[in-house]
Structure formats: structure tokens, C-alpha cells
Amino acid sequence: MRAKPGNWLGERLDLSAVRELISHKTVPVHSATRWYYFGGITLFLFAIQVITGILLMLYYRPTVNEAFESVRFIMTRVEYGWLIRSIHSWSANLLIFVAFVHMFSVVFTHAYRKPRELTWLTGIALLGLMLFFGFSGYLLPWNQISYFATKVGTDVAASTPLIGPAVGRFLRGGEDVGGATLTRFFDFHVIILPLTAMALVGIHILLVQQHGMSTPPWIAPSGVRQMRFFPNFFLRELMVWYCALAALGALAAIFPWELGEKADPFASAPRGIRPEWYFLAQFYTLKLIPSHVWIFEGEILGILGFGLLAASWAVLPFWGADSAGNARTRLVTGAGVVMVSYLAAFTVLGYLK
């Protein structure tokens, strides 16, 4: 046995911990098992983003004079360039959607409770990173819509009380959205965010391995059937990934992502300007808040409200369960339903109006 070539690596690299994990990892089988797939789909789409992003970088140029032209070059001259870019854009959107589904599945199955608070916190940080990925990537083609969306987006950040102006300047690399913003956003999008995201994904997955899969509180953990992760669950997950890839390919081919018109800083904002769908709920809320509420500016009030809401959502494990790890199921489920309803309704309203 020792002479087998397959053992060559094993004699030099101790993989027993990995082998142990693979052979013992199980997944509980119950009515909510299907929700376990969403974390994996998010990871898969993230991998798609990394691969297609690396490919796009072969031709993309992050300067005001060349950004738009280089994306147009990718889409019109590079073989399958339209497909790679379209997949990158579609996958970004699906990734954020699936990450939201994953997050709400954790809320409704109460998987955030002790000892999984850190898993939740890293997940929330990852969701924030994904939104920032979307925001920074949106500007890179340097078209009219993305230019104005970035003006508005960085202005929202800049109107945060106290720290706002500094944050705005930092994001834009100056007073206005311009070439400096483009190189900054490129740096965020391809260096800072990916490095941070990879580290966080690593920690997130490590924590999931340490704790194992959570079972909802209404299912007694002792009586639950278990499915082996390798190969049973993994092969199912693989099939789901295949379907996700098929959906992605179909969307990218049937509805190729538009490029629009090149950004012109001296043109008026185009009609119907709005951010990506995942910022629509906030966008629409800001539209509804009157310009002044009592002595406060409406916009600042809205931004503070979002900040407060996001912060309390991020610490959900600490108010959503007692210190022994028993979930306050009614409270959290209620909050989750309100949150999903608000996001869904305001996203649709923001899209229609």
C-alpha cells in the first residue's frame, strides 16, 4: 500500500483532518432541508464572479477615456465577450438575490442562535460586501446610468451626519465622480473586496463546519435523520449548481446585459434613472420621506433610519435568542416577515414608480 503513487501526497501532507471531516460530515434531513442549498448556491455564484471577473480584467481598462470603450470592445470584438460580461452581470444580481434568500432562511429556521452568532455576523458582513461589490462594479462600464447612480450613491454616503463628508470624499477620490472615482472603484472591486470576501467566506465556512448544520427549534435534534455530506448532499448540491449555471447561461444569452451610452459628466441625468434593484427599496423610501421632518432633514433621517435598521438586523442573534440559545421564535419570525414584506413591496414600488 505504501508504494502506491496515490499515497505520495498523503505521506507528505497530513490530510487526515480533511478526510475525517469528509467522512463524518452529515446534513439533517427534515422539512426545511432544501434551504441548506442556498449557502452553497451563493458560494457557487461567487466562484463564477471570480472566474468571469478575472477574464474581464484581461481587456478592461479603468480610465475615463477607455473604460466604456474597453467594455464595448469586450462585447463586440472579443470572442464570447458578450457572454462573459453578461454572465458576470447576471450572476452578480442572482448572487445578491440568493444571498438574501439564504439570510432569510437562516432567520426563519432560527439558525442564528447560540453558538452560531459569529456565523451570522460574518454572513451579514459578506452581504454588505456583496452590496458594495455591486455598487462598485456598476460604475466600471462608465455609462450614463452607472455614472449618475454613483453620483447619487456616493452623495447618500456623503450625507451621513458627522462622518459623511469624509466618507464621500474617500469614495469619490475627490469632490466629484470622475476618473479618480473610477480607479478607486476598480481597486475596491478587484482587490480590496475580493480579498476581504475570501477571508470572510473562509471563516464563514469554517464556522459552519465546526458547528455542523443547524436544525430548526421545532425539530428535536435527536430524532432527525442524517444524510452524509459526501457524496449524498454534495452531489445534490452539484446538481443545483448545474441548474443555476443553466439558468445563468440562459439569462445571459437571452437577455444580454446592456451597455448603454457613455457617461457624459456635462449631460443631464437621463430619465428613469434608478439604482440596481437591490437598492430600490431604500431608493424608494428616500423618495417618500418629506424634505423636512420636524427639525431634521428628511434625507438624513432616512439614512439614519437605514443605519439603525441595518445595525439592529446585524445583531439579530443577540435579541433574537436568550443566552442559553433558545430562539425568541415569534419575535424573530415576525421581524423577518415585516422585513421581507417591506423589502419586497418597496422594491416593486421603486421599480414601478
The residue among 169 and 225 lying less far from other proteins, judged by its C-beta, is 225
**79 sits near other proteins (criterion: CB under 8 A):** yes
Output the nine-digit C-alpha cell for 220. 428535536
If one asks whether residue 84 binds other proteins (CB under 8 A), the answer comes out as yes
Region of residue 333 (phi > 0: left; psi between -120 and 50: alpha; otherwise: beta):
alpha
Q: Work out whether 228 is an interface residue with other proteins (CB under 8 A).
A: yes
* Segment lying near other proteins (by CB under 8 A), choices 111-119, 230-238, 261-269, 282-290: 230-238
Beta strand 292-293 with 296-297: parallel, antiparallel or unpaired?
A: antiparallel
Indicate the residue among 58 and 308 with the shorter CB distance to other proteins: 58
Q: Looking at beta carbons only, is 24 or 169 nearer to other proteins?
A: 24
User: Residue holding cell 428535536?
Assistant: 220
Which of 80-88, 100-108, 115-123, 138-146 is the region at the interface with other proteins (rule: CB under 8 A)? 80-88
242 binds other proteins (CB under 8 A): yes
Ranges within 44-73 binding other proteins (CB under 8 A): 51, 55, 58-59
Q: Output the CA torsion 150→255→71→177 (10° steps).
A: -10
Q: Is 342 in the site for other proteins (CB under 8 A)?
A: no
Are 229 and 33 contacting, i.e. CB atoms less than 8 angstroms apart?
no
Report the residue from 31, 57, 80, 309 that binds other proteins according to the rule CB under 8 A.
80
Tell which phi-psi region holds residue 260, choosing left (phi > 0), alpha (psi between -120 and 50) or beta: left
Report how many residues bind other proteins under the rule CB under 8 A: 23
* Stretch touching other proteins by CB under 8 A, among 130-138, 176-184, 220-228, 256-264: 220-228
Q: Is 21 in the site for other proteins (CB under 8 A)?
A: no
Which of 34, 169, 225, 353 is the binder for other proteins (CB under 8 A)? 225
Nearer to other proteins (CB atom), residue 77 or residue 353: 77
Q: What's the one-letter identity of residue 275? A: P
Q: Which residue do the cell numbers 432569510 mark?
A: 104
Question: How does DSSP classify residue 264?
Answer: -
Residue 29 engages other proteins in binding (rule: CB under 8 A): yes
CA distance 303 to 250: 37
Would you count residue 335 as binding other proteins (CB under 8 A)? no
Compute the least distance from the CB of residue 77 to other proteins, in Å.
5
Closest distance between other proteins and the C-beta of residue 34, in Å? 14
The yes or no reply on residue 231 touching other proteins (CB under 8 A) is yes
CA-wise closest residue to 56 among 83, 76, 85:
85
30 part of the interface to other proteins, by CB under 8 A: no
DSSP state of 176: S
List, in order, residues 6 or more apart from 331 with CB less than 8 Å away.
319, 320
Burial class (CB in 10 A: 0-12, 13-18, 19+), 300: middle
Q: Which of these ranges, 172-180, 191-199, 227-235, 283-291, lies near other proteins under the rule CB under 8 A?
A: 227-235
Out of 47, 50, 235, 331, the only residue in the binding site for other proteins (CB under 8 A) is 235
d(CA 134, CA 259) in angstroms, rounded, equals 16
User: In this structure, which amino acid lies at residue 182?
Assistant: L
Work out whether 10 is an interface residue with other proteins (CB under 8 A).
no
| 133 neighbors 189 (Cβ within 8 angstroms) | yes
Identify residue 305 by its one-letter amino acid code.
Answer: G
Closer Cβ to other proteins, 242 or 255, answer by number: 242
The binding site for other proteins (CB under 8 A) comprises 26, 29, 51, 55, 58-59, 77-81, 83-84, 225-228, 231-232, 235-236, 242, 245
